[in-house]
Amino acid sequence: MKPSIRKFLVPIMALLLPTGVLAGPSGTLVIAENLTPENLDPANAQNSTVDQLMLGMYDTLVQFTAGETTVSPRLATDWSASADGLTHTFNLRNGVTFHDGSALTADDVCFTFDRNQAAGANALTDAGPYDSCNIVDDHTVQLNLSAPFGPFVSALGRVYIVNKDLVEPHMGDNFARTWLSVNEAGSGPYALKSYKPDDSVSMTAYPDYWGGWDGNHVAEVVFRVVPEASTQAALLKAGEVHIAPDLTIDDKIALQGKDGYITDIGAAATPLYFMINVQAGGPLSDKLFRKAIIMAVDIKALCDAVLQGFCAYPEGPMPSNWPGHVGGIYPEFDLEGAKKIIDDNGWAGTEVNLTFLPEEEIQQRASEMWQANLAKIGVTLNATGSTWPALYAAAQSLDTAPDAGGSSAFPPFPDPHGILYGLLHSSKMGINGGTNFSQYSNPEVDDRLDRAASSADQNERMKLYGEVQEIVGNDYIHVLVAQPASVVTLSDKVVGYKYNVAHHQTFNFMDIGLK
């Protein structure tokens, strides 16, 4: 049994903390969210609706502070790696307690990793070839890998540490997934107060949080589920919510610079791709045809006219603000040149089927623009709106996979591996259950991606990733259609918000105060 100051369960509907003991936090921050959280299980933290809650209720060994692209200490005060890159040692902070008052120790850390591994948690998948965890003493752990993995430490930002004593009794029920889907067992700055699916999630400041409460912080955080963009706008104007992230582009523009509001424009790394299925047969199997239809994508017009400047011009497979980015990869927009390629090869009249996600306004507008431009060069684009689960399922068979699919990348940490591996490696092809919807397989690319992932030499890694981008650019398998910024509209009463590139569509509410 771990040492404990007080010991009690953290129920789903009522965690009552004595607000009188809070030295600093005051006020209630209300954040609108267009999707209900999938659940409260930190093993599902790859989902942003889960991750945005975990950031406040749990701690990680290391974390990306909002506005930064390198990890900082959290539960771990320092760490080191063995010469062979197979063992990473973390020294834990003293004096950390869970919300039930019990001490957080190395036993909780190893239990968390073992539980995620047994449950096949997506949150651990990004940590590469993780193998096992050893307890050295109460405040030291060793994480062992089966092979070196360059971005391992960066990948730990979504592995949230759980209270072993609370979670272990429920492991027999699907590795505690059922219990943790509606309960919390964390040590973060905020503790769960209530969880009402499709309505709201409320959290209150934990008075004994190890990080303290110096400065301006809120005593309570409420995520209010508001699916409609127009309703979010109305609630923001009425002062009923403080942060409305899902407004239409027109509403964001209308409120930008207006008294009472703040428009935060973050340099996001969530690129939208039109992925071209290279195994679709017909002209799509010819990279010259693929080059021609890529030349019909006017990415500058999409940025300027559709996104109203809330964007950057994409120049290659990775966002321009991402480590290892190589520009000048894609051919220029050139309808005349594209039409010549189509006519010279007798491809006029070809039909291409695109599946896109209409829930993303940019996908709808981009598909319409591409459709109009392709018509001018003699190619018919049949654009069909769908859902992400349907697109993902269709891509798992060549019989049902679309000729092209619209998909945005949501990399879990700022590293080329976080984008390029899932986008390009043959093991991640749609037919293998991955998100490489281009169904692209190139041994030269696989080899470089594998070597970059296993290297601890950052210069060597960036060189390999640069070569990957050059190879793929010449194969014309997709086009990075848009690189939207993260545009969040807030009440001017909000102080301290910053965009977090490693946790897109989340909020650093633990750093936020109200004035």
Residue-wise pLDDT tens digits, 485-504: 999 999 999 999 999 999 99
- Least-confidence region, from 30-34, 189-193, 318-322: 318-322
Q: What is the pLDDT of residue 360?
A: 83
Q: Could you give the CA distance from residue 357 to residue 405 in angstroms, rounded to a whole number?
A: 9
Q: Could you give the CA distance from residue 9 to residue 18 in angstroms, rounded to a whole number?
A: 16
Q: What is the pLDDT of residue 2?
A: 61
- Mean pLDDT, residues 331-349: 97
Percent of the chain scored above 70 by pLDDT?
96
- Mean pLDDT, residues 80-108: 97
Q: Could you give the CA distance from residue 11 to residue 430 in angstroms, rounded to a whole number?
A: 40
Q: Is 21 a residue whose pLDDT tops 70? A: no
Tell me the pLDDT tens digit for each residue of 272-281: 999 999 999 9
Between the alpha carbon of residue 221 and those of residues 29, 200, 206, 344, the distances in Å are 5, 10, 12, 61
Q: Is 13 a residue whose pLDDT tops 90? A: no
Q: Could you give the CA distance from residue 27 to residue 40 in angstroms, rounded to a whole number?
A: 24
Helix (H, G, I), strand (E, B) or coil at 491: strand
DSSP tag of 69? S
Instruction: List, as one string, the DSSP characters of 156-224.
Output: GGG-----HHHHGGGTTTTTTHHHHTT-----SSEEEEEEETTTEEEEEE-TT-TT---SS--SEEEEE
DSSP tag of 303? I
Instruction: List, as one string, the DSSP characters of 373-387.
Output: HHHHTT-EEEEEE--
Neighbours of 56 (CB within 10 A): 22
Q: Is 512 a residue whose pLDDT tops 80? A: yes
Instruction: With beta carbons less than 8 A apart as the criterion, state whether 60 and 159 touch.
Output: yes
Helix (H, G, I), strand (E, B) or coil at 421: helix
307 pLDDT band, cuts 50/70/90, is confident
Q: What is the pLDDT of residue 38?
A: 86
- Least-confidence region, from 11-20, 257-266, 390-399: 11-20
Q: What is the pLDDT of residue 22?
A: 42
Q: Could you give the CA distance from residue 318 to residue 91 in angstroms, rounded to a whole number?
A: 34
State the DSSP H helix or E strand holding residue 424, giving kind and residue range, or none if neither: helix 417-424
- Mean pLDDT, residues 297-308: 89
pTM of the predicted model as reported, rounded to 2 decimal places: 0.85
Q: What is the pLDDT of residue 255?
A: 97
Phi, psi of 373 (to 5 degrees): -70, -40
Helix (H, G, I), strand (E, B) or coil at 104: coil
- Mean pLDDT, residues 191-212: 97
- Mean pLDDT, residues 25-50: 93
> N- to C-terminal Cα distance for the chain?
43
Q: What is the pLDDT of residue 482?
A: 87
Between the alpha carbon of residue 376 and those of residues 118, 336, 352, 500, the distances in Å are 54, 9, 14, 41
Give the number of residues written for the chain: 515
Q: Is 16 a residue whose pLDDT tops 80? A: no
Q: Is 245 a residue whose pLDDT tops 50? A: yes
Q: What is the pLDDT of residue 265?
A: 94
Q: Could you give the CA distance from residue 295 to residue 280 in angstroms, rounded to a whole number?
A: 19
Q: What is the pLDDT of residue 17?
A: 42
Q: What is the pLDDT of residue 409?
A: 86
Tell me the pLDDT tens digit for each residue of 247-261: 998 999 999 999 999
Within the chain, how many helices (H) and strands (E) appear?
15, 21
Q: Is 124 a residue whose pLDDT tops 90? A: no
Q: Is 210 a residue whose pLDDT tops 60? A: yes
CA dihedral 50, 42, 510, 37 (to 10 degrees): 20
Q: Is 7 a residue whose pLDDT tops 70? A: no
Q: List, in order of start, the domains of the chain with CATH numbers.
A: 19-242+488-514 (3.40.190.10), 272-484 (3.10.105.10)
- Mean pLDDT, residues 454-476: 94
Instruction: With beta carbons less than 8 A apart as the criterion, state whether 110 and 141 touch.
Output: yes
Instruction: Assign residue 160 a region (left: φ > 0; alpha: ψ between -120 and 50; beta: otherwise).
Output: beta
Instruction: With beta carbons less than 8 A apart as the criterion, state whether 486 and 31 touch.
Output: no
